[in-house]
Amino acid sequence: MTSLNQVRAVVTGGGGGLGRAIARALARRGGRVLVADVNLEGAEATAKLVEAGGGRAHARRADVSVYDDVARLAEEAERLWGGTDLLVNNAGVGIGGPLDAIPIDDWKWAVGVNFWGPVYGCQVFVPGFKRQGGGHILNVASAAGLLAAPEMAPYNATKAAVVALSETLHAELAPHKVGVTVLCPTFFQTDIVKSGRLHSSDGAAIANKLMSRAKLQADDVARLALEGVEADRLYVVPHPDGRWMWRLKRLAPEPFYHRLLPRIGGIRGRVAR
């Protein structure tokens, strides 16, 4: 997409954090935003901010792990604005801890939101993009999906799946003039720890400290993500630490990168202190 001005957008997980930041950034471009979140009050608060920021907005409750909820978002956008130009699959949940400490129900929860949510979004909105001859999907993954750090197995696996989904669709949808961008940030301030399920004693303290130290926060990540959409880039890795670690993994996976990963547990402990 060469421009997001006056775009018709659907943003899942828009009730706070990055979803809210993206919705507000679209408002500054005069966008029309359907804000979806499992927390309707949060979505409504974001919608008011979009209206105050120069855009137009509607809020809807949606659980992205439920196909019918996502399908209703496409129907609602069609009813309100005659279609959608930008789908932001942003809703996500955090899970951490050693593999054998994480209950299977938590795996199912992560897969439902982090994996099936984007799959349902793409499945539901792509036909409309094809009919209108264009559109763009912004899938919010994570640097975790590229780097696979220890004690984050459900999160890493689901976010890696979103990266693979995005790579596949980038090639598949190009002939239809439908763009795909996958966003892979590292740490910035959100509520993902508060709403997540962590199964290690120091996980929350470590994550909160890393988030508070980040130089790029939600508004910065939102801006860089939308610039990536406008430039039709497949990958947006906004944080320098994520970019350097991703380069290291690609350049020296066996000699160095995968030997480094077991030591990250010790680094995590020092960060917490």
- Point out the residues that are catalytic: 155
Distance, CA of 42 to chain centre: 17
List beta partners, residue 197: 95
Cα distance between residue 160 and residue 165, in whole Å: 9
- The beta-carbon contacts of 106-110 under 8 Å, at least 24 apart in sequence, are 106/154, 106/197, 106/199, 107/154, 109/65, 109/197, 110/154, 110/155, 110/158
Total residues found in the chain within this entry: 273
Look at residue 159 and give its three-state secondary structure. Answer: helix
Which helix (H) or strand (E) segment is 1 a member of?
none
Burial 12-46 (b: 16+ CB within 10 A, else e): bbbbbbbbbbbbbbbbebebbbbbbbbeeebbbbb
**Do the beta carbons of residue 133 and residue 177 sit within 8 Å?**
yes
Cα distance between residue 265 and residue 268, in whole Å: 5
Look at residue 13 and give its three-state secondary structure. Answer: coil
